[in-house]
Amino acid sequence: MTLAPREADSVTGVTDRPLRVLVIFGGRSSEHEISCLSAAGVLRALDRARYDARAVGILPDGRWVSAPDDPDLITATGGRSLPSVVDSGEHAVLLPEPPGDHALAEAISGVDVVFPVLHGPWGEDGTIQGLLEMAGVPYVGSGVFSSAASMDKGHMKAMLAHAGLPIGDYVMVTPRDRQRNDEVRSRVTNLALPWFVKPARAGSSVGITRVTDPLDLDAALAEALRWDPRVIIEAGIAKAREIECGVLADADGTPIASRCAEIRVRPGRDFYDYEAKYLDDAADLIVPAELPVHIEDEVRAFAVRAFDALDCEGLARVDFFVTDDAIVINEVNTMPGFTPISMYPRMWAATGVDYAELIDRLIADAVRRGTGLR
């Protein structure tokens, strides 16, 4: 593929036509279906008087295919519980023939700004960001380094700790670590039970196991390793509330925090897993969270500090555990779920920024930043 860099004139100079916005969605990660839902929400909300909207889907096997500008096709499931990018069939989301390399290069180079609504590896982790940087095409969200560092839970926690932010106890298990299995077990036994064994670079709670008996560790590691050769084991935090906060770049790039939200998992679930999030309606999402004002203010301040510590841009959702005597940052998501009912847009709606305005602000921020070293 040959991607020509953009001309020197910036998209900020475009005034005589709608801004050409390319929404890229789907992808190779375990969050493929969630990306489809997010993209449908974005396409549905884009004001066609202001934007010339285009769409490209990435199949689970990595092929790119042109998509019609029709969010109803993206959400058509054809009997599936969640949608997927397909290239044929009655409910095909995308056109049947993937473009060649030249057509793909033209598709990217011909737009003013890209909204990469991709979650997880091969999208949220700096890969698509690097492609767009090389092509000189502005895009919504964090850059290459921040996306990559935030995607890897181990690197993310190390950076947050270095910035003096509160994180929970954890142990990283890399492919080299697994060659020293006894040493890993020794480190893990110092963590408070229950343990949460996770793929280091997955999202939507895919591949996570809650371990209450150390004898179950091997099975939990095997499940996490199905998704990622890097695994993180986190200590449980007793009597913690799950609190989230959105961060958004203001008009000049200054990060600002939304009202907070709380996730309350209903009885019968050990934790907020994939099924509880997307399939079983097994959690209550409370927006805004019922927190004392001083606690919410502290959470919001931590969210902005985490955004800065990881050098994020555009947007992020920061997830916390809050107890009676502590606030702990769990993780930072640089491209959180983006359906109209996802937590990130709902938190901003509670703060006074509706879904369509949120998208407008993110696109304007991408245009303002442009590409290149900054």
pLDDT digit string (tens) for 264-295?
987 655 655 555 444 456 678 999 999 999 99
Q: What is the pTM of this model?
A: 0.86
Residue with tokens 């590409």: 371
Q: How many domains does the chain have?
A: 3
Do 154 and 287 have their domain in common? yes
In a domain, residue 369? The reply is no
Query: Can you give the CATH number for the domain in which 35 is found?
Result: 3.40.50.20
Q: Which residues contact 26 (CB under 8 A, 6 or more apart)?
A: 32, 35, 36, 39, 57, 58, 59, 60, 84, 85, 118
Output the pLDDT for position 91: 36
Pairing of strands 231-235, 170-173: antiparallel
If you average pLDDT over residues 10-27, what whole number do you get? 76
Answer whether 258's CB lies under 8 Å from 247's CB.
yes
pLDDT digit string (tens) for 155-209?
999 999 999 999 999 999 998 887 776 777 888 988 999 999 999 998 657 789 9
Q: Which amino acid is at 220?
A: A
pLDDT digit string (tens) for 32-51?
888 999 999 999 999 999 99
If you average pLDDT over residues 337-356, what whole number do you get? 95
Do 304 and 158 have their domain in common? yes
Q: With 80 as the cut, is the pLDDT of residue 258 above it?
A: yes
pLDDT interval class at 78 (50, 70, 90):
very low
Dihedral of the alpha carbons of 310, 315, 317, 318, in degrees to the nearest 10 = 30
Reduced to 3 states (helix: H, G, I; strand: E, B; else coil), residue 315 is strand
Answer whether 42's CB lies under 8 Å from 239's CB.
no
Do 203 and 293 have their domain in common? no
Do 288 and 162 have their domain in common? yes
Output the pLDDT for position 12: 45
pLDDT interval class at 104 (50, 70, 90):
low
Pairing of strands 19-26, 113-117: parallel
CA torsion sign, 153 to 27 to 367 to 1?
A: positive
In a domain, residue 353? The reply is no
Pairing of strands 113-117, 327-333: unpaired
Do 106 and 215 have their domain in common? no
Do 263 and 121 have their domain in common? no
Output the pLDDT for position 76: 52
Query: Can you give the CATH number for the domain in which 185 is found?
Result: 3.30.1490.20
